[in-house]
Structure 1
Amino acid sequence: MQADDKTRLVYLTSLVAGRSFVPIGSGRQIIQSPTYIVKANIGTPAQSLLMALDTSTDMALVPCAGCIGCSSVTYDTTKSVSFSSLACGADQCKQVQSSSCTGTACSLNITYGGSTIAANLAQDNLTLATDSIVGYPFSCIEKVAGGSFPPQGVLGLGRGPLSFVSQSKSLYTSTFSYCLPSFKSSNFSGTLRLGLNGQPKNIKYTPLLVNPRRTSLYYVNLIGIRVGSKIVDIPPSALAFNPNTGGGTIIDSGTVFTRLVDGAYTAVRDEFRRRMGKAVVSSLGGFDTCYTVPIGKQVPTMTFMFPGLNMSMPQDNFLIHSSSGTTTCLAMSASPALNVIANMQQQNHRVLFDIPNSRLGISREICS
């Protein structure tokens, strides 16, 4: 009952004039997908999809009726009077690097995680909260191969010209924030806040960086990681922002577990193990620092350090427990070239993307 009340309160808050608040839920609990989802209404009359939020993707990816390899929930273009296909000559088609022209349609071949997608570029009205964006361009998916695609599509919140952030610029001035609830949360208790109204006033900021190699991604300058009271000795090259290679650190809502470049990960992992004392270390799946004994008191805190702010995390943001409950692992792993601060580590924080002022805000907020 309380959970229902909380969800209702988020909804009622979204109706307050001038504030565009959209409830966020854990896809893991609601649609069995390890993403965070919002309800998006597409077309006229509206058809609802629970779309995954992805700050590292630009274009919305929508499973359309008749799609091969998609889930049973799709958007039926024939039932919307405001739907239209976008042809080869359309400006939007020219903005998509993966487009090709076969006949009149603007065809797209996209890779998303481990999935390959065939789609056509289209447009229709899209509504989040109460504001409608007319003629919103998206990929109308015809075929998906590979298993990692979110079942009801993806809402791209990246920095590119076809993203939701860019397409809704006149409404929300390229400003948004979210609080992601615990992945165990079964209701829509998180919020996506769109526009300047309703954003937190007392929040610390760090600069947002633009990497010319990967212009859609939200880069930040990770300058250190503290495990317990110790700032870990990490090779500077592992954290360095590199405009030539695309190296550095991004904040991402679509990746589940934080990835750190080898040198950084090894240093953090080794310090974490040292703090855990003589407890025997094992591995499980992709995690190499796991414990089968009860752990609690000796678990150190962990803090990501940026110019202007520190992001201190409770245990729930960096420890994951096996389904049987007998094993606990450090929920991070090594990455070949890019540091990714992922959604598990962001749980129960307000993360504010202020693109006009090139800054990112982070503050603790319980929204589970």
Structure 2
Amino acid sequence: MYTRPATFASHFSPSTKLERAAGADMSILRLSTVLAVLLPSFWTAATAVRSSTLLLARSHSLPPPNTGAPLTAWAASLAAQSAADVTRVAMLAAVVPAKAKPHSKGRSFVPIAPGRQILSIPNYVARARLGTPPQTLLVAIDPSNDAAWIPCSACVGCAPKSSPSFAPTDSPTYRPVRCGSPQCAQVPGSASCPGGLGASCAFNLSYGSSTFQAVLGQDALALEGGAVVSSYTFGCLRVVTGGSVPPQGLLGFGRGPLSFLSQTKDTYGSVFSYCLPSYKSSNFSGTLRLGPAGQPRRIKTTPLLYNRHRPTLYYVDMVGIRVGGRAVAVPASALASFDPATGTGGTIVDAGTMFTRLSLPVYAAVRDAFRRKVRAPVSAPLGGFDTCYNVTGGGVRVPSVTFAFAGGAGAAVTLPEENVMIHSSSGGVACLAMAAGPSAGVNAGLNVVASMQQQNHRVLFDVANGRVGFSRELCTA
């Protein structure tokens, strides 16, 4: 198992409680988080939206390169993450929210940090404040989800007592959402209203291998340094069974009516972006930027597509892939947009999946083209990756990989070596950080542009103007 250097651990020792609160698991089979807040906290009114960039820190269960950790431990970490990605992609098939309409403007920068990926739990967490006076919480950020739920005090089966939870009785601005209200009607599935229209809106849902019971409520919410949403609607968790529910709570940034994006459309105009740090760093900063102000002016964009069968997901049209500057021969049908009749196929951008997954014919073509360009013996497969090389002493030249999206030549994103290869902790092995998607089922034709390939890029989701953009940016402090 990889152990943090003593200097790193001592520098961030005050974050131990937050690490537990974020649900960090120091097992080599899980990615873990340490959220270290080194700048002052802000609690602002919606009329005074301000920006804030905070330093975050990660403790790697997946060892960074050249740390000397055993190759077997590194391979086990990759295998566990690869398995989690498979489950994540399967989960995306069940995402069925509604589309929201954009408005207005505003800006905020929110700190984000990598988190565990257990089934469909997203990889990044942020600090939020809920209620009056504000109660500090950690929330998981998931761009491919519409859910909004918070663990509440006295919840049975929620996170340990060391993890922050919300106490509605301590906030005079909290109010339950009643049955018969528009918000109650937006809850996925069917809400339970045994007490009639005046009763609290209660509901039961499944999430991964878990089930939970919650009551819909409203209170003032703000992400770190952001504007206050005076009546944010969320599920107040009361009973949880199973281990799939994020212990920190969840803020979905999908396009359904209860997502953070939709509930803040009048403040942030249905626009957000994030910049994910490289897996190679122990100390890093990553940001979630809310609103149209402050977004990159020079950015490569491609149209955002709407799939009525999976309306919360961010679909784009990938039209080609190049390896080492040369177009890969891929069947046109394999890169085609999703099927309008069934919603299957197509390409999505998802930060909750770690390694890019390409449909079988696309991956096979890219892998073979990559191997031809490298011109070095392929080592034995490791951690779920089938294209690995012995890089001891150098000598392996890694070609660039370019994803071409609809929108002309300007919509092509060329990935440097650090987004293409993942290096072992021992420094002796490196693997192509992509894999094939499922061979059968509803996701057999789906391509997922994942977080490894997004690292050190500003990824823009401009729902208001129907576009997704990519801009190279150093996200590591």
TM-score after normalising by structure 2:
0.69
Q: Give the Cα separation in 2 of the matches to 1:39 and 1:133.
A: 15
Counting matched residue pairs gives 363
Residue identity matched to 1:36: Y
Which shows bigger deviation, 226-235 or 69-78?
69-78
Q: Deviations over 1:206-237 (max 9, x none)?
A: 10010111111111001111111221112222
Deviation, 1:350, is 0.9
Structure 2's unaligned 5+ residue stretches are 1-6, 13-36, 43-49, 54-105
Superimposed CA distance per residue, residues 43-88 of structure 1 (whole angstroms, 9 cap, x where no aligned partner): 2222222222211101223222324053441223332222233233
Question: Quick one: which amino acid aligns to residue 86 of structure 1?
Answer: V
Please identify which structure carries the higher strand content. 1
* Per-residue deviation, residues 100-120 of structure 1 (Å, max 9, x unmatched): 315244344444455444433
Task: Give 1:365's aligned residue.
Answer: 473
Asked if the contact 1:10–1:189 (Cα under 8 Å) also holds between the matched residues in 2, the reply is no
Question: Are residues 262 and 15 of structure 1, via their aligned partners in 2, closer, same or farther at CA, if it must alter by over 3 Å?
Answer: closer
**CA spacing shift, 1:152–1:39, aligned 2, 3 Å:** same
Change (3 A) 1:201 1:19: same
Q: Separation in 2 of the partners of 1:26 and 1:52?
A: 9
In the alignment, the residues of structure 2 paired with residue 283 and residue 145 of structure 1 have an alpha-carbon distance, to the nearest angstrom, of 37
Residue type of the alignment partner of 1:23:
P
Output the CA distance in 1 between the equivalents of 2:360 and 2:425.
Answer: 28
- Which whole-Å CA distance do the structure 2 matches of 1:111 and 1:130 have between them? 31
What SS does the aligned partner of 2:370 have? helix
**d(CA) in 2 for partners of 1:136 and 1:10?**
20
Indicate the percent of aligned positions where both proteins have the same amino acid: 54
**CA distance in 2: counterparts of 1:85 and 1:290, whole angstroms:** 54
Unaligned runs of 5+ in 1: none
Conserved? CA contact 2:374–2:396, under 8 Å: no
Structure with greater Cα Rg: 2
What RMSD in Å do the two structures reach over aligned CA positions? Answer: 3.1
**Equivalent residue in structure 2 for 1:315, among 409, 412, 417:** 417
Residue 126 (str. 1) matches residue 221 (str. 2): yes
Partner residue, 1:248: 346
Deviation, structure 1 residue 148: 4.6
Question: Is residue 2:382 matched to residue 1:284?
Answer: yes
> Counterparts of 1:184 and 1:150 in 2: how far apart (Å)?
25
Q: Residue 48 of structure 1: which of 113, 136, 160 is its match?
A: 136
- 3-state SS, counterpart of residue 360 of structure 1: strand
- Report if the CA contact (8 A) 1:249-1:341 is conserved: yes
Partner of 1:25: 113
> Match for residue 305 of structure 1?
404
Match of 1:191 among 270, 287, 295: 287
Per the TM alignment, residue 166 of structure 1 is displaced from its structure 2 partner at its CA by 0.8
Q: 1:58 aligns with which of 142, 146, 150?
A: 146
Q: Which of residues 451, 454, 463 in structure 2 aligns to 1:343?
A: 451
CA distance in 2, matches of 1:302, 1:111: 38
Measured at CA, do residues 87 and 367 of structure 1 come closer, stay the same or move farther in structure 2, by a change above 3 Å?
Answer: same
Q: 1:75 aligns with which of 166, 173, 193?
A: 166
The 1:47/1:318 distance shift into structure 2, 3 A limit, reads farther
Q: Determine whether 1:39 maps to 2:127.
A: yes
Per-residue CA deviation, residues 297-341 of structure 1 (Å, 9 max, x unaligned), is: 421111111123111112222322344544322222222322111
Distance in 2 separating the partners of 1:116 and 1:231: 46
